[in-house]
Structure 1
């Protein structure tokens, strides 16, 4: 069926001249002890001839070719009655072991990655659909083509191939970015666990981004993926600020629960305002003020919804994760609070010793 929005469909397959095609009857050939190679060699020798010997005269060498007379095989009936010798010495006509039919041949044989291929081209009206949706429809329609037609397969290239390759590269960059963020946070907080707490904001942001694409009915395009990668660096900012303030209160001598409550209450307004400024700045792009852009709108939606969800979860989940990891650290480390104990001047300078007069 025709896919709406797809036009100018064409391919590189073209019919050539008529030709004779020889189809081997496997059962009959097996009964006579003949192989495909033997039958093909007999046909080749009959039509093109075969070198029997070389006649030499002085310094000149002349090949002796043995073949049928040119007017002996001028029609299909003569070819059917061509005699072929079996390994047992029995002579049988060629029509007993093969079927020869007249069919149209190929004007050109194209290859892709070393295999025969037919390339189908089409153009897509972007106002009605996208290349990604069209390819998804084709993949669904031809999902069982390899089982129905063994030896045949579909390979999607063009824009769809570029999108697939870009997605794979973006995911690699996404993972590298996460590792770099972890290294920087680990050096900043001098901890292996707290960077993991902060990076929990990333999956929250991705969940929000997917919800944003679903609500806006937008596709997961390359630009939307750019938005998700950018969101990775944005959503961790609120977590960094919150965890840093909790650590500061604990280093000042406050207990864990007071530090968590105080850090959350003090940084509540700055965290919300920081996120709102980014969200309000992207709203014009998302709703299309000054002109809608189907390319950039998905990126705006991914950042807006991702940041909103990640900020909300940061305020509620991060303090809980901080407390949980502290408890788990206590199971491994003998004195998990040693890092946050305050040091008095006496402990730092030692007992005062009066100077000798």
Structure 2
């Protein structure tokens, strides 16, 4: 415990019990039990029945089944001297005082013994220090445990920390599945396996903006920020899809690739700015949240605002460039080029 409290990543670590609770340790003299013909298990079961309680049988009453628990009355087991009144049966049928086979020793230990995964355990609660994430605190606990725990001792995480560890190992898989889904969906829409990269490669700009804002406002890389990143993938991809879709329409109408990219960006600039900034202003209260649940709200809001702001500002310049590169690459590989003629007028709703 002292080693944990000395780590700068952890602000506070404590156990929930007092280890100086007075108790009596029972030691069984196996040699005397064999000489008197008393089974050690019989001695232990007798103590269990008188002091700890022992399940005896069941009985039915009023249509319900009840359990019968055998245990001595508190008045006859509350003092150390009460053990002199307990007797155990020998193999010859005689009753012998149990104090002939056991000795009591005063000691100190926890008031309650907890178990975790069938092992005797104790709970250690820690809090990350300011400027450190929960992942830093987890790594510090693992390092201290490896250095200080002796043979036969181990440690395991539970509760929210265990969920964080299990979800953290799935984060990469979740992001990969999101990107693969978007890629195949756009491949079917554009009828190209190359052009979807114009959308996918524009996403890192917005995701980097989320981490920049998180660093500026002191937000840790936690599970809530990662949830916000998954949301940003869809929002940022939507803006890129709009520009690429309109640029592709202009390209198919006969314009050059560069002209198509410029027309597509100009046509969707106002709608993208309106929807993106409306979304950003709507998340500012979440970014500045206080009170209960403020940490999770700040993590989601800060990442979403930073990602959308930087992704929108830089995306309107980067996405047309990506369209030019990958559309030219697509036409070069496929050998399919749109006819070069006077472009047909597009519907008014597209140019507005």
- Structure 1 residue 238, shift from structure 2 partner: 1.3
1:17 counterpart = 2:15: no
SS at match of 1:17: strand
- Structure 1 residue 305, shift from structure 2 partner: 0.8
Contact kept, 8 Å, 1:15 with 1:105, in 2: the verdict is yes
- Structure 1 residue 206, shift from structure 2 partner: 1.8
- Structure 1 residue 171, shift from structure 2 partner: 5.4
Equivalent-residue separation in structure 1 for 2:306 and 2:175 (angstroms): 19
Equivalent-residue separation in structure 2 for 1:213 and 1:318 (angstroms): 24
Equivalent-residue separation in structure 2 for 1:243 and 1:267 (angstroms): 10
| 1:72 to 1:106, Cα distance in 2 relative to 1, 3 A | same
| Superposition RMSD in Å | 4.6
Equivalent-residue separation in structure 2 for 1:234 and 1:261 (angstroms): 22
Gaps of 5+ in 1: 22-42, 53-62, 65-69, 76-101, 345-357
Alpha-carbon displacement from aligned partner over 1:278-308 (angstroms, at most 9, x marks no partner): 2222223324599994432221211111012
- 281-290 or 12-21, which deviates more: 12-21
Structure 1 equivalent of residue 83 of structure 2: none
Contact kept, 8 Å, 1:260 with 1:319, in 2: the verdict is yes
1:2-81 equivalences under 5 Å are: 6=12, 9-11=15-17, 16-18=23-25, 46-49=31-34
| 1:279 to 1:289, Cα distance in 2 relative to 1, 3 A | farther
Structure 2 equivalent of residue 140 of structure 1: 140
Structure 2 equivalent of residue 85 of structure 1: none
Contact kept, 8 Å, 1:201 with 1:239, in 2: the verdict is yes
Structure 2 equivalent of residue 182 of structure 1: 183
Structure 1 equivalent of residue 122 of structure 2: 118
1:341 counterpart = 2:339: yes
Gaps of 5+ in 2: 38-90, 93-97, 343-352
- Structure 1 residue 176, shift from structure 2 partner: 3.6
Equivalent-residue separation in structure 2 for 1:290 and 1:117 (angstroms): 34
Structure 1 equivalent of residue 208 of structure 2: 207
Q: TM-score, normalised by structure 2?
A: 0.61
- Structure 1 residue 19, shift from structure 2 partner: 6.2
1:313-328 equivalences under 5 Å are: 313-328=314-329
Contact kept, 8 Å, 2:133 with 2:220, in 1: the verdict is no
Q: How many residues are paired up?
A: 277
Contact kept, 8 Å, 1:11 with 1:120, in 2: the verdict is no
Structure 2 equivalent of residue 304 of structure 1: 305
- Structure 1 residue 228, shift from structure 2 partner: 1.8
Contact kept, 8 Å, 2:198 with 2:322, in 1: the verdict is yes
| 1:150 to 1:326, Cα distance in 2 relative to 1, 3 A | farther
